């Protein structure tokens, strides 16, 4: 059993939890993930390590409430326990030797992008962060990105916070201003990563993407995160989650990633109804 030592609502659909897991915290690196079960009867889901504190022995997870398990997880509070919490899993993000990078995060994907930006900043790398959200109400980790970045661009679709526009607008502006990046790291919705990669390919800038959004089981057994990279079949959970974005078949990944949306929504509604019944 793993104790929740802190809980914070970041926006109406995204929650942060800090979990006591010293053995995982001792080895976790940016880009890796954990697998958890809320209770003994629960399903297993993968969640990216959003941060870790080796001294405190804690792991921070940030999750969006989209299905039954994240709905159940969100009903737990500080002091409650998570049944299973396993990790760290996946290949850590490559950070060695990078001198100047652009880290691009979209929506809840910023929870994955932040620990990478934080580590690179700590290594002395010049980090330019670009984070994008639909509106002000959905912005997360703004202060954290500012602390880990030499340049930080906040974009919203409706202009209610930061600058109005897409993350690709900000990235193009920084590149055209003369910034030469060793690498661009993009993490967010598949459609966002696709267009970031389309842009950077024009400039011949190496781009790494996290295919965490299509992961389901987290062990490679279900095949749900199967994708094509450079004409070869890969699994996001065991071969990644980071891949060369210019080699990823995003159209195939988006089709696969949409397969379970209707099921997730239905199961979440059923879970919400169950909790409502228990309250009554």
Tell me the average pLDDT across 250-257. Answer: 80
**Residue 138 vs residue 227, higher pLDDT:** 138
Q: Under a CB-based contact definition with an 8 Å cutoff, are residues 58 and 19 in contact?
A: yes
Tell me the average pLDDT across 105-129. Answer: 94
User: Domain 100-257 class?
Assistant: alpha beta
Q: Residue 77: which pLDDT band, with cuts at 50, 70 and 90?
A: very high
Neighbouring CB atoms inside 10 A of 191's CB total: 12
Helix (H) or strand (E) segment spanning residue 85: strand 84-89
Q: Under a CB-based contact definition with an 8 Å cutoff, are residues 157 and 107 in contact?
A: no
Q: Under a CB-based contact definition with an 8 Å cutoff, are residues 278 and 78 in contact?
A: no
Q: Under a CB-based contact definition with an 8 Å cutoff, are residues 63 and 89 in contact?
A: no
Asked if residue 280 has pLDDT above 50, the reply is no
How far is Cα 266 from Cα 172, in angstroms, rounded to an integer? 39
Query: Where in the chain are the domains?
Result: 2-89, 100-257
Q: Give the residue among 141, 137, 88 at the shortest CA–CA distance from 117.
A: 141
Q: Under a CB-based contact definition with an 8 Å cutoff, are residues 46 and 89 in contact?
A: yes
**Residue 85 vs residue 269, higher pLDDT:** 85
Q: Residue 247: which pLDDT band, with cuts at 50, 70 and 90?
A: very high
Q: Residue 190: which pLDDT band, with cuts at 50, 70 and 90?
A: very high
Q: Residue 211: which pLDDT band, with cuts at 50, 70 and 90?
A: confident
- Percent of the chain scoring above 90 in pLDDT: 66
Asked if residue 265 has pLDDT above 60, the reply is no
DSSP 94: P
How far is Cα 67 from Cα 69, in angstroms, rounded to an integer? 6
Neighbouring CB atoms inside 10 A of 236's CB total: 28
DSSP 32: -
pLDDT tens-place string over residues 139-149:
999 999 999 99
pLDDT tens-place string over residues 151-183:
999 999 999 999 999 999 999 999 999 999 999
Q: Is 70 exposed, middle or buried (0-12, 13-18, 19+ CB in 10 A)?
A: buried
Quote the pLDDT of residue 252: 87
Quote the pLDDT of residue 135: 93
pLDDT tens-place string over residues 45-54:
889 899 999 9
User: pTM of the entire structure?
Assistant: 0.84
Quote the pLDDT of residue 52: 95
How far is Cα 253 from Cα 261, in angstroms, rounded to an integer? 14
**Residue 199 vs residue 274, higher pLDDT:** 199
Please provide the CATH number assigned to the domain covering 2-89: 2.40.30.10
How far is Cα 180 from Cα 278, in angstroms, rounded to an integer? 56
How far is Cα 79 from Cα 58, in angstroms, rounded to an integer? 14
């Amino acid at each position: 059993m793993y104790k929740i030592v802190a809980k914070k609502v970041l926006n109406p659909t995204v929650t942060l939890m800090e979990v006591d897991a010293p053995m995982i915290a001792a080895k976790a690196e940016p880009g890796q993930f954990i697998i958890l079960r809320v209770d003994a009867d629960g399903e297993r889901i993968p969640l990216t390590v959003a941060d870790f504190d080796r001294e405190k022995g804690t792991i921070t997870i940030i999750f969006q409430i989209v299905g039954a398990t994240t709905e159940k997880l969100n009903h737990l509070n500080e002091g409650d326990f998570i049944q299973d919490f396993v990790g760290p899993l996946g290949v850590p993000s490559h950070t060695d030797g990078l001198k100047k990078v652009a880290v691009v995060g979209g929506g809840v994907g910023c929870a994955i992008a932040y620990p990478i930006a934080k580590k690179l900043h700590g290594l002395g790398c010049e980090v330019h962060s670009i984070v994008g959200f639909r509106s002000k109400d959905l912005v997360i980790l703004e202060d954290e990105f500012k602390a880990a970045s030499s340049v930080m661009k906040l974009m919203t679709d409706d202009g209610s916070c930061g600058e109005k526009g897409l993350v690709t607008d900000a990235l193009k502006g920084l590149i055209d201003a003369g910034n030469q990046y060793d690498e661009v790291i993009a993490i967010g919705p598949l459609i966002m990563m696709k267009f970031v990669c389309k842009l950077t390919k024009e400039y011949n800038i190496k781009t790494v993407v996290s295919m965490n959004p299509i992961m389901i089981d987290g062990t490679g057994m279900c095949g749900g995160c199967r994708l094509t990279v450079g004409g070869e079949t890969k699994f996001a959970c065991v071969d990644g989650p980071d891949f060369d974005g210019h080699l990823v078949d995003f159209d195939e990944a988006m089709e696969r990633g949409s397969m379970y949306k209707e099921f997730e929504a239905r199961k979440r509604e059923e879970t919400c109804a169950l909790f409502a019944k228990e309250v009554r």
